[in-house]
């Protein structure tokens, strides 16, 4: 089991109690147990306090307000919806953790180029159950990938590969290529080259084979997972990488100025067709050291990461990515 899956199982929020715009509700749950949190843009301090302690099974009551613009509070590696934290209002949340561990809370509103630095930790200690079990390492670590090496594709399709067209040849696919393991550990270019040397596909031209690759990639996802990937991408990635993956999001200029690097353009075939899902997973979980690319490991669950990756490939394989998830 992947580390992130483990954490998402651990995190059980026993009911998020929300009392929006009710400043004195804290008294109702007993003011002594309530922690007041102030949110500010990362440049002026982020979350205060930024470390919170809690005990397994004991509800943690938080009262939150913003000292500047609208922020939002969410717990990493969980599916719990984010709650808005507004200036001049108190938002109350009650969280109960049923496993010890370190949880990350973060802002989901794009309050500025350093927005993603708005992160804090909740240290949850157990009663007697000891420390959390270590999870298994993510795939990019198991495969020992050098995620900092360049990965340009040397073969580029002449037309946009299309999964529907590819589906018509799907019966010809070698069985070795249809597993999840194959998909996750191969770039589209590697898959194309594997198909090109397969004797049973010799009668197909290169464009047909790229269509088959698009079909393989699509068959490793579902419309639901793509829709979730799209939603998470819009929430967490689009401000830098652009709504349609072009690397031109609203903060791309600011990120360039801060780090000297531009957010990767996911519609570029050379970059994307040379990258396996495992490689993209590594980049996403770890982030680009010293560049503007945040680390998403503490935020996304394992499945959420694979869903975003599936969605990112649609910028290569779908003439009309805007339709995904509709
Ligand atoms: C604050 C801006 C910013 C945000 C937000 C951001 N990225 Fe990035 N991302 C970058 C930058 C800058 C790079 C280029 C890093 C480099 O050149 O090493 C990058 C690189 C990447 C790469 C590497 C691609 C490659 O082929 O090398 C992937 C994958 C990626 N981002 C995915 C994501 C995903 C998924 C999200 C959202 C969950 C996200 N990024 C959010 C700025 C951002
Ligand atoms: Cu924010």
Residue 259 Cα: closest atom of ligand 1: 12
**What's the gap in Å between 135 CA and the centre of ligand 1?**
25
Q: Which two tokens stand for residue 64?
A: 């939150």
Instruction: Give which of 304, 312, 201, 186 is closest to 247, Cα–Cα.
Output: 312
Report pLDDT for 175.
95
293 lines ligand 1 (CB under 6 A): yes
From first to last of the 326 residues of the chain, give the pLDDT tens digit: 333 333 333 333 333 444 333 333 333 344 457 999 999 999 899 999 999 999 998 999 999 999 999 999 999 988 778 899 999 999 999 999 888 889 999 998 888 888 888 999 999 998 765 555 667 889 999 999 998 888 999 999 999 999 999 999 999 999 999 999 999 999 999 999 999 999 999 999 999 999 999 999 999 999 999 999 999 999 899 999 999 999 999 989 988 888 888 899 999 999 999 999 999 999 999 987 667 788 899 899 999 999 999 999 999 997 655 556 54
Q: 138-326 in CATH: which number?
A: 1.10.760.10
299 lines ligand 1 (CB under 6 A): no
145 lines ligand 1 (CB under 6 A): no
Question: Count H helices, E strands: the chain?
Answer: 12, 9
Q: Is the CB–ligand 1 distance for residue 236 below 6 Å?
A: yes
Alpha carbon nearest to ligand 1 atom 23, residue: 283
DSSP for 171-232? GGS-GGGSSHHHHHHS-HHHHHHHHHT-GGGTTS-HHHHHHHHHHHHHHTS-HHHHHHHHHH
Say how many Å lie between the CA of residue 10 and the centre of ligand 2: 26
> Which residues sit opposite 92 in a β-bridge?
63
Short-list 299, 132, 276, 292, CA closest to 216: 276
User: Strand 51-55 vs strand 71-75: parallel, antiparallel, or unpaired?
Assistant: unpaired
173 CA to middle of ligand 1, Å? 32
Q: In what order do the strands lie in the sheet with 47-48?
A: 47-48, 34-39, 60-66, 91-95
CA of 244 from ligand 1 middle (Å) equals 14
Q: What is the pLDDT of residue 128?
A: 65
Which CA distances in Å does 15 have to 19, 22, 95? Answer: 13, 18, 7
Bridge-based pairing state of the strands 60-66 and 34-39 = parallel
| CATH of the domain spanning 3-125, picked from 2.60.40.420, 3.30.310.10, 3.40.50.620, 3.40.720.10 | 2.60.40.420
Residue 123, strand partner residues? 53, 102
Considering the chain, tell me which residue range(s) the CATH 2.60.40.420 domain(s) occupy. 3-125
Return the ligand 1 atom nearest residue 262 CA. 12
Whole-model pTM: value is 0.85
pLDDT, residue 324, reads 60
Cis peptide before 49 (omega within 30 of 0): yes
Residue ID of nearest Cα to ligand 1 atom 11: 263
**CA-to-CA distance for 176 and 171, rounded, in angstroms?**
13
Rounded distance from Cα 33 to ligand 1 centre (Å): 39
Distance 13 CA to ligand 2 centre (A): 22
Ligand 1: residue whose CA is nearest its atom 36: 237
Residue intervals of the chain classified under CATH 1.10.760.10 are: 138-326
């Amino acid at each position: 089991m992947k580390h992130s899956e483990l954490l998402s199982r651990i995190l059980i929020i026993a009911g998020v109690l929300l009392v929006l715009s009710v400043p004195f509700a804290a008294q109702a749950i007993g003011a002594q147990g309530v922690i007041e949190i102030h949110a500010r843009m990362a440049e002026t301090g982020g979350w205060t306090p930024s470390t919170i302690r809690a005990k397994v099974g004991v509800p943690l009551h938080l009262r939150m307000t913003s000292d500047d613009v609208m922020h939002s509070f969410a717990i990493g590696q969980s599916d719990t919806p984010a709650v808005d934290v507004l200036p001049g209002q108190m938002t109350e949340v009650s969280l109960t953790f049923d496993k010890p561990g370190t949880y990350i809370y973060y802002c989901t509103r794009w309050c500025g180029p350093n927005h993603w630095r708005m992160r804090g930790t909740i240290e949850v200690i157990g009663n007697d159950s000891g420390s959390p079990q270590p999870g298994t390492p993510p795939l990019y670590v198991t495969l020992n990938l050098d995620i900092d090496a360049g990965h340009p594709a040397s073969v580029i399709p002449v037309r946009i590969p299309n999964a529907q067209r590819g589906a018509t040849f799907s019966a010809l696919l070698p069985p070795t290529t249809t597993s999840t393991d194959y998909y996750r550990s191969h770039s589209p270019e590697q898959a194309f080259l594997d198909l090109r040397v397969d004797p049973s596909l010799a009668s197909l031209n290169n464009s047909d084979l790229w269509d088959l690759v698009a079909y393989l990639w699509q068959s490793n996802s579902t419309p639901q997972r793509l829709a979730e990937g799209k939603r998470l991408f819009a929430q967490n990635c689009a401000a830098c990488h652009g709504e349609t993956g072009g690397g031109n999001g609203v903060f791309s200029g600011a990120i360039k100025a801060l780090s000297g690097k531009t957010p990767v353009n996911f519609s570029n075939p050379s970059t994307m067709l040379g990258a396996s899902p495992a490689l993209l997973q590594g980049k996403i979980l770890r982030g680009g050291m010293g560049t503007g690319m945040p680390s998403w490991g503490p935020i996304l669950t394992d499945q959420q990461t694979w869903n975003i990756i599936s969605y990112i490939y649609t910028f290569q394989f779908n003439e009309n990515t805007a339709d995904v998830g509709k």
